[in-house]
Structure 1
Amino acid sequence: MNKKFLTLSIASLLTASCFAQVKPLAPNKDAMKFSKAINPADGLKHLSVLASDEYEGRETGTKGAWMAADYIRDYFKSIGLKGPVDGGYFQKIDLVNVTLKQSQVTVNGQPKEYQKDYVVSPSLISDKGFTFSTDQIVFVGYAINKDNYNDFAGVDIKGKVVMMFSSGDPTMKPGTRIDRATYRAMLENRAKYFADNQVKAIILIDPMVDRITENTKNAQNKGRVMVKTNAAIEAQKQNEIPRISISTTVANELLKASNTTVADLQKKIVDSQAPSSSVLNVPFSASAAKNEVPVRCENVLGYLEGSDPVLKKEVLVLTGHYDHIGLVTDPNATDKVNNGADDDGSGTTGVLLMAKAFMDAKKAGKGPKRSILFMTVVGEEKGLWGSEWYSEHPVFPVENTIADLNTDMIGRIGEEYLGKPDSANYIYSVGSKMLSSELSNLSERVNATYTKMKLDYKYDDPKDTEQIYYRSDHYNFAKLGIPIIFFYDGMLQQDYHRPGDEVSKINFPLLAKRAQLTYYTAWELANQAKRPAVDMDGKGNPKK
């Protein structure tokens, strides 16, 4: 599951459901018969491969991820699923490795050293690169404008090069945390202000440049992979102002023109609670360009066509992300592989098990009426890249997609359930109530009929500090108005994104039971007369 948080604003909901309070469905003997394909033994078989050291943590754009993609494709093909992408199973994603082609910075005509005096992020360089020079820099402190504090007051930044501290807010007490919505809004307002004033370039005073390590240098020199989604391309277009991060030493060299230093300025601003913006008359020039090299990257799709001549046009999507975070960067680490057995080898395994169950049914003449797309996506750990790509380049029309059931981490017991009676019989159900009350009700009835697990809705609470609803691939379906359920075990501390996330720690009977809950829900969705109605506003409130 992805670490990044996004804005959360949803309605308050109950935290748990008891199946005894819900009217069960009539059990479907066929569904029960074919559910036997979802079992602990086959789960162990798949996960022992996907989360092995040989797969090197399955980081997007690396050999381990390619090996996992090949394994999943071969399995889909072996059980009879069709490749829906021009006859193939891979939906190729436009991923590139971006490296710095060249860069140069001078102060007073004297060249500065890359990765000692300054750093330029190639991912922030426009396709055409940049070159600029100036004899005048406008220092704008923390570049904050709020309440009674305005770093931009009294200075003209139009068409100028500005210099600012890379982070911080002198108006806030140390240790105070700002909520992400407010912080995001501040960044967006600042970017708009810079763009509206046609700022020529931004120089960031960044202490991280002072402390850059050899490991960091090597990582920067290897480049950074980035996916060229429509959203990413548009964001880059809106962010084409050149940016350079400089060391404190270089900043002090520039500040000599005003007879001050970084430390003195910071102290002065904090003590006075007033800006200290100024114009620095000092020659500064810079240029940079980047290289982009395509990198293999793909979602893996297996398609099961529905049996009903009308309903087969509608598609149910079952997702899990097969990527993880790769190898440990610490050269002294004894265990160098972040295996990602739970995150999200477990969910990917669940998708494979469900695919086998539905294909067994299909071969026995009991296949689903609607079509099902089994999709394991890549790049989730990088920022939901694979599902975002699919949302922008859907293989099947969005209007024909009835729901997404997403399994991301279903193999372990989360911290809140350790040692509790429900520890081996619960699952967090996330987002089922956001867009469709019918989907939520169906999920509860399915659970009451077949799996009888405790459904915990904790992460639907608007006060959820982890903002789980926004952190896995279902969200890229939900934002299109497609009903979703995200099944999740709640493991956020034990071994999360660490080498300890190993196959040996997976509870395979529990993994299988959670996958069966997903499967039974999918069975009903794929066979019931009507698709789940979208009657909620995406925040858990009834549509007006």
Structure 2
Amino acid sequence: MIKKPFLYTGLAVMLSLSAVAQDKNAIKYSQTITKERGYDHLSILASDEYEGRETGKKGAWMAAEYIKKQFQSFGLKGPVKDGADPYFQKIGYASLSLSKSVLAVNGQTKESLKDYYITPNTVSAKGFDVKANSILFAGYGLSKDSFNEYEGQNVEGKVVMIFATGDPTAPAPAAPTTGRRAPSGAGSTQVKLKYLLDNKAAGVLIINPMVDNISPQMKAALANGNPFLKTQERLKGMANASVLPTVVIGTATANQILAAANTNIEEVKKKITETMKPNTVSINIPVAFAAASKETDVRAENVLGFLEGSDPKLKNEVLVITSHYDHIGLVNNPEATDKVNNGADDDGSGTTGVLMLAEAFMKAKKAGKGPKRSILFMTVVGEEKGLLGSEWYAEHPIFPIANTITNLNIDMIGRGDDDRPGNNDFVYIIGSNMLSDDLDRIGKKANADYVNITLDEKYNNRTDPNRFYYRSDHYNFAKFGIPVIFYFNGVHKDYHQPGDEVDKIDFPMLAKRAQLVYFTAWELANGANRPVVNKNDDGTPKAK
């Protein structure tokens, strides 16, 4: 609960001592950006009722409707002209799932998601139907010069069975590895499958012990299909792609096949390891597998609210302020006690920030003090699915990319970072100097003049191992040469967990960070000139 109002007295006193640097109107209309107003929005958007706001699901649709109604209540216009609703930009979002999935070994039908699985993205538009009287077992599926399990074999037109990963000839790592990094080189699944595809195998059975105990999360993911964005490039790539019919099988099915050759998984692996020789064998057992996929359009939309600038000479230039309103939805574990990934910080906090900024700027507009340039307030969908909503907008912009002066992107401003314990009076800024020194200067001056928060640039580089510069919606603007600032509070133990709840939000800091974005936006929307882009995407100076 909120115990006391967020007071602006200290801020007002500080600003009065250096009045030359501040715009009094900017200060006046910022005063609706409060922790109370933040709570009003976030307690709704991150409630259990919104079911974690997963793209393409009821909770995200509810969030989109809520944001739209807020934009309408502020007086923002819906700028979308080619849709049913001027506030919604429908994105070309679809789900690819299986309409058919069959595996039979020696005439015995196997059970999908128990004995085997087929992923939709391994099924071409035409589907596949493979039948064979024998299976070529090629061990680890290695095709190295020093250890070629296909030597003397012609795989064209044959069904091949291999282990998913592994290379018994590879040297052991010098030190224990951490994380879940997949094997690289000849032992990787991708390399093995490419060999079979290039050599025109009819299909492949991949032995993976994970099938023996498929998690509820994976079952749900396989059943619900693979989402994708229907950009022209992707549709063309999917239509032209060569796909190897692939079935992932468990150890019981693999051992049934190997039993026809009087062996089993354990004996085969032991023999290969001890002899360091391939153990490729043709097994006379019939197999048949077939699959077909279906594409289903899924409702998903960016929500747009437009404020037209007041200066006839500058109003065609547009500042875009974004956040993503989607999150990761419900927990796919029937035993979980908390089934909602509420996404209060990620990114309910950023969406709340955009709503507060939109309200503040519209109050200024109605009082005759609106910004000279236009501002597009946009909450995008599909960020958690791969930055889909912002990618769609950048490729189908409502306002020309050439007229877009900057993108200010807010993704998580409601909490602290586990790496900065005990003091939340900071925000990470990422990207501000990647393309434009002007933007970097404007953003930092706005902070010094109005907010005085610690600006941490720890992640403000292209070589950051976390790759934060590439992981939120601003990057889909940056890749088109639009300067960006990404505001971010870092990660915490509740990141992408049900514990990302409203009661853990630091609302005073959410409001303060939102004020920083507001004052930066005010300077950008009212400045004499748009930020000059003086760097290329790789950071090198732009040719004059």
Contact 1:25–1:446 (Cα < 8 Å) also in 2: no
Map 1:15-30; keep pairs closer than 5 Å: 26-30=21-25
Q: Per-residue displacement from partner, 1:267-288 (whole Å, max 9, x unpaired)?
A: 4555666655555554322111
Select between 307-316 and 137-146 the one with higher mean Cα deviation: 137-146
C-alpha separation between the residues in 2 aligned to 1:187 and 1:235? 21
What is the TM-score of this pair, normalised by structure 2?
A: 0.86
Contact 1:97–1:224 (Cα < 8 Å) also in 2: yes
Map 1:13-52; keep pairs closer than 5 Å: 26-52=21-47
C-alpha separation between the residues in 1 aligned to 2:236 and 2:178? 30
Deviation at 1:533, TM superposition (A): 2.6
C-alpha separation between the residues in 1 aligned to 2:19 and 2:126? 61
Contact 2:316–2:403 (Cα < 8 Å) also in 1: yes
Residue of structure 2 aligned with 1:406, choices 378, 385, 409: 409
C-alpha separation between the residues in 1 aligned to 2:541 and 2:474? 20
C-alpha separation between the residues in 2 aligned to 1:63 and 1:107? 40
C-alpha separation between the residues in 2 aligned to 1:451 and 1:403? 21
C-alpha separation between the residues in 1 aligned to 2:183 and 2:542? 27
C-alpha separation between the residues in 1 aligned to 2:522 and 2:145? 55
Question: Residue in 1 aligned with 2:105?
Answer: 107
Contact 2:461–2:469 (Cα < 8 Å) also in 1: no
1:206 aligns with 2:208: yes
**Quick one: higher RCO (CA 8 Å, sep 6+), 1 or 2?**
1
Question: Residue in 1 aligned with 2:538?
Answer: 539
Map 1:367-516; keep pairs closer than 5 Å: 367-419=370-422, 423-461=423-461, 464-493=464-493, 495-516=494-515
User: Per the alignment, in what secondary structure is the counterpart of residue 130 of structure 2?
Assistant: strand
Q: Per-residue displacement from partner, 1:419-457 (whole Å, max 9, x unpaired)?
A: 2xxx23211111222222222222222222222221111
Map 1:123-138; keep pairs closer than 5 Å: 123-138=121-136
Select between 73-82 and 515-524 the one with higher mean Cα deviation: 515-524
Contact 1:166–1:205 (Cα < 8 Å) also in 2: yes
C-alpha separation between the residues in 1 aligned to 2:277 and 2:481? 46
Percent identity, aligned pairs only, is 54
Question: Residue in 1 aligned with 2:65?
Answer: 70
Contact 1:24–1:445 (Cα < 8 Å) also in 2: no
C-alpha separation between the residues in 2 aligned to 1:110 and 1:139? 19
Deviation at 1:120, TM superposition (A): 1.4
- Supply the AA of the counterpart residue of 1:42: R
Question: Residue in 1 aligned with 2:235?
Answer: 233
Deviation at 1:318, TM superposition (A): 0.9
Deviation at 1:164, TM superposition (A): 3.0
C-alpha separation between the residues in 1 aligned to 2:222 and 2:43? 33
User: Per the alignment, in what secondary structure is the counterpart of residue 435 of structure 1?
Assistant: coil
Question: Residue in 2 aligned with 1:80?
Answer: 75
Question: Residue in 2 aligned with 1:352?
Answer: 355
Q: Per-residue displacement from partner, 1:97-145 (whole Å, max 9, x unpaired)?
A: 4443222222234332322322112344223322122345444554566
User: Per the alignment, in what secondary structure is the counterpart of residue 114 of structure 1?
Assistant: coil
C-alpha separation between the residues in 1 aligned to 2:402 and 2:182? 30
Deviation at 1:355, TM superposition (A): 0.8
- Supply the AA of the counterpart residue of 2:249: I
C-alpha separation between the residues in 2 aligned to 1:103 and 1:446? 58
Question: Residue in 1 aligned with 2:3?
Answer: none
C-alpha separation between the residues in 2 aligned to 1:24 and 1:132? 77
- Supply the AA of the counterpart residue of 2:435: L
C-alpha separation between the residues in 2 aligned to 1:278 and 1:435? 58
Change (3 A) 1:402 1:164: farther
User: Per the alignment, in what secondary structure is the counterpart of residue 458 of structure 1?
Assistant: coil
Select between 131-140 and 40-49 the one with higher mean Cα deviation: 131-140
C-alpha separation between the residues in 2 aligned to 1:168 and 1:475? 36
- Supply the AA of the counterpart residue of 2:439: L
User: Per the alignment, in what secondary structure is the counterpart of residue 323 of structure 2?
Assistant: strand
Map 1:89-238; keep pairs closer than 5 Å: 89-143=87-141, 155-170=153-168, 171=170, 173=172, 175-176=176-177, 193-212=195-214, 216-217=218-219, 220-237=222-239, 238=241
Deviation at 1:540, TM superposition (A): 3.3
Please list every run of 5 or more consecutive structure 1 residues that lacks an aligned counterpart in the other structure: 1-22
User: Per the alignment, in what secondary structure is the counterpart of residue 411 of structure 1?
Assistant: coil
Question: Residue in 2 aligned with 1:13?
Answer: none
Change (3 A) 1:520 1:143: farther
Select between 153-162 and 279-288 the one with higher mean Cα deviation: 153-162
Change (3 A) 1:522 1:279: farther
C-alpha separation between the residues in 2 aligned to 1:177 and 1:156? 38
Contact 1:410–1:488 (Cα < 8 Å) also in 2: yes
Deviation at 1:462, TM superposition (A): 5.2
Question: Residue in 2 aligned with 1:6?
Answer: none
Q: Per-residue displacement from partner, 1:187-239 (whole Å, max 9, x unpaired)?
A: 77666655544443332212121112567546644445444344543453435
Contact 1:355–1:374 (Cα < 8 Å) also in 2: yes
Change (3 A) 1:148 1:58: same
Contact 2:22–2:449 (Cα < 8 Å) also in 1: yes
- Supply the AA of the counterpart residue of 1:384: L
C-alpha separation between the residues in 1 aligned to 2:431 and 2:181? 20
Select between 230-239 and 352-361 the one with higher mean Cα deviation: 230-239
C-alpha separation between the residues in 2 aligned to 1:292 and 1:284? 27
Contact 1:207–1:247 (Cα < 8 Å) also in 2: yes
Question: Residue in 2 aligned with 1:16?
Answer: none
Contact 2:220–2:332 (Cα < 8 Å) also in 1: no
Q: May I ask how many residue pairs the two structures share in their alignment? A: 518
C-alpha separation between the residues in 2 aligned to 1:172 and 1:482? 46
Deviation at 1:156, TM superposition (A): 3.9
User: Per the alignment, in what secondary structure is the counterpart of residue 417 of structure 1?
Assistant: coil
Contact 1:316–1:403 (Cα < 8 Å) also in 2: yes
Change (3 A) 1:270 1:33: farther
- Supply the AA of the counterpart residue of 2:25: D
C-alpha separation between the residues in 2 aligned to 1:535 and 1:139? 58
Deviation at 1:350, TM superposition (A): 0.5
C-alpha separation between the residues in 1 aligned to 2:405 and 2:298? 32
Deviation at 1:410, TM superposition (A): 0.3
Which structure has the greater CA radius of gyration? Answer: 2
Deviation at 1:348, TM superposition (A): 0.4
Contact 2:428–2:459 (Cα < 8 Å) also in 1: yes
C-alpha separation between the residues in 1 aligned to 2:418 and 2:442? 28
Contact 1:85–1:91 (Cα < 8 Å) also in 2: yes
- Supply the AA of the counterpart residue of 1:318: I
Deviation at 1:531, TM superposition (A): 2.4
